[in-house]
Structure 1
Amino acid sequence: MSAPAILVADDHPMFRSAVLHALREALPQATVFEAASAATLDQVLAAQPQIELVLLDLAMPGARGFSALLHVRGERPEIPVVIISSNDHPRVIRRAQQFGAVGFIPKSSPADAIGQAVAAVLDGGAWFPALTAERSEEDAQLAARLAQLTPQQFRVLLCLADGLLNKQIAHELGLAENTVKVHVTAILKKLNCHSRTQAAVLVRALEPEAMP
């Protein structure tokens, strides 16, 4: 296997260190980047086009449940994403799979599981614990609706879900207020929502515990 470039996105420094150690043991030639928030994740992805794999924690500052997973899939669909989470409920694992992850590693897993999962995914495979939760049609429909959004529209949607006004969104994302208005109109149309509140409800459905 050639030397892969891997991004580890987790807000806990000690856990990131543990993952880095496991990766060095399994793939000593790998180049590893780190991110501690959704914003940093975005910056590293933009700055490092050579990244081949993302190991992603669901609970990071700036992320809402599966939003970071959906954002990476929209921004860089060619990059496989493996979720690493302390929430390993079968329903959460199934939702991660439906929202586009190619693997799921519970944080309670032994260190060598990380190396095995990464090797499997880099080889074109997948890595999931045994699943007992049923596939959800609601999640499939939600993923399909959100997939219509551009990466910038998805960022605007997350701001909407935080209750920000257009002026605040413009400041947050460095956009003109008129541009934000255009994005909001497009978002509501694509998601078939009649109000900003309806769109925010869709984002809340991305929380790992959210049930259809």
Structure 2
Amino acid sequence: MGQIAGSTHSSPDRVLIVDDHSLVRDGLRSLFVDAFPACTILEADCLERAVRTLTDEGDVDLVLLDLNIPDVSHLSGLEALRDKFPATPVVMVSGVTDRKTVRDALAAGAAGFVPKSLKRAAIIDALMQVLSGEIFMPELEGDDSGAAEEDLIRTRVASLTPQQRVVLGHLVAGRLNKQIAHELDVSMTTIKAHVSAILQKMNVFSRTQAVIMAGKINFKA
């Protein structure tokens, strides 16, 4: 697991649990009721209902998405939610925990990957980490979690366009949008668009998180 930001833990106001097994949804619901009693819990048993719920209900703080639900294929559910609701953290919850699946999910923009085999306290801790701006990566046998996190970050940075990499370099240097716009001789609107795209591609929700993530791999534009 790797910390992407040092912000304090916060309790979610609303979460969406997406799983086609009612027993799993009940288990996750009870976990949230115990850990976050004030949280409103929404449920969906397929991707179609999840999208409808997010569209109708508005923003949620967290989506817990099962890897294998009837109307998705592998990571297509994650990819659809990231595309339609890029500002919403999506945590994969699955009984499948092979290294490739975990890394592919995180590279595709998941904010975490939580094995169903984890104990309740460990699941709560994982969700708290995600809510505080971290990426939760489970410990896998024979895996170097530090190296795995760096690989994940490099994959996300590699998805940036050359211009976005330049803007990220300026963010890392601590420059404000107006300073970057002046340096690159472009409009503030252009810089804001680049910053928004950077945050989305790096699956972070603030400039600070993007800078901290880039610092972990000593990013140079």
* TM class, shorter-length: 0.5 to 0.7
How big is the shift at 1:42?
A: 1.0
Matches within 5 A, 1:1-212: 1=10, 3-130=12-139, 132=143, 135=151
Task: Go from structure 1 to structure 2 and tell me whether the alpha carbon gap of 1:115 and 1:46 turns closer, same or farther (over 3 Å shift).
Answer: same
Work out the percentage of aligned pairs sharing the same amino acid.
Answer: 31
- Counterpart AA for 1:36: D
How big is the shift at 1:99?
A: 0.5
- Counterpart AA for 1:11: D
Question: SS in structure 1 opposite 2:129?
Answer: helix
Per-residue CA deviation, residues 26-64 of structure 1 (Å, 9 max, x unaligned), is 111111100101111111111111311100001111111
Asked if 1 retains the 8 angstrom alpha-carbon contact of 2:59 and 2:88, the reply is no
Question: SS in structure 1 opposite 2:70?
Answer: coil
- C-alpha distance in structure 2 between counterparts of 1:37 and 1:11, whole Å: 6
- Cα RMSD, aligned residues only: 2.6
Q: TM-score, normalised by structure 2?
A: 0.59
Asked if 2 retains the 8 angstrom alpha-carbon contact of 1:82 and 1:104, the reply is yes
Asked if 1 retains the 8 angstrom alpha-carbon contact of 2:17 and 2:64, the reply is yes
Per-residue CA deviation, residues 85-116 of structure 1 (Å, 9 max, x unaligned), is 01011111111100000111101111122221
Question: SS in structure 2 opposite 1:24?
Answer: helix
Question: SS in structure 1 opposite 2:42?
Answer: strand
Q: Which runs of 5+ in 2 are unaligned?
A: 1-9, 161-221
- Counterpart AA for 2:74: G
Could you list the structure 1 runs, at least 4 aligned residues long, displaced by more than 2 angstroms after superposition.
130-136
Asked if 2 retains the 8 angstrom alpha-carbon contact of 1:20 and 1:32, the reply is yes
Question: SS in structure 2 opposite 1:60?
Answer: coil
Question: SS in structure 2 opposite 1:46?
Answer: helix
Asked if 2 retains the 8 angstrom alpha-carbon contact of 1:37 and 1:61, the reply is yes
Question: SS in structure 2 opposite 1:126?
Answer: coil
- Counterpart AA for 1:63: V
Q: TM-score, normalised by structure 1?
A: 0.61
The alignment of Structure 1 onto Structure 2 pairs a total of residues equal to 144
Per-residue CA deviation, residues 170-200 of structure 1 (Å, 9 max, x unaligned), is xxxxxxxxxxxxxxxxxxxxxxxxxxxxxxx
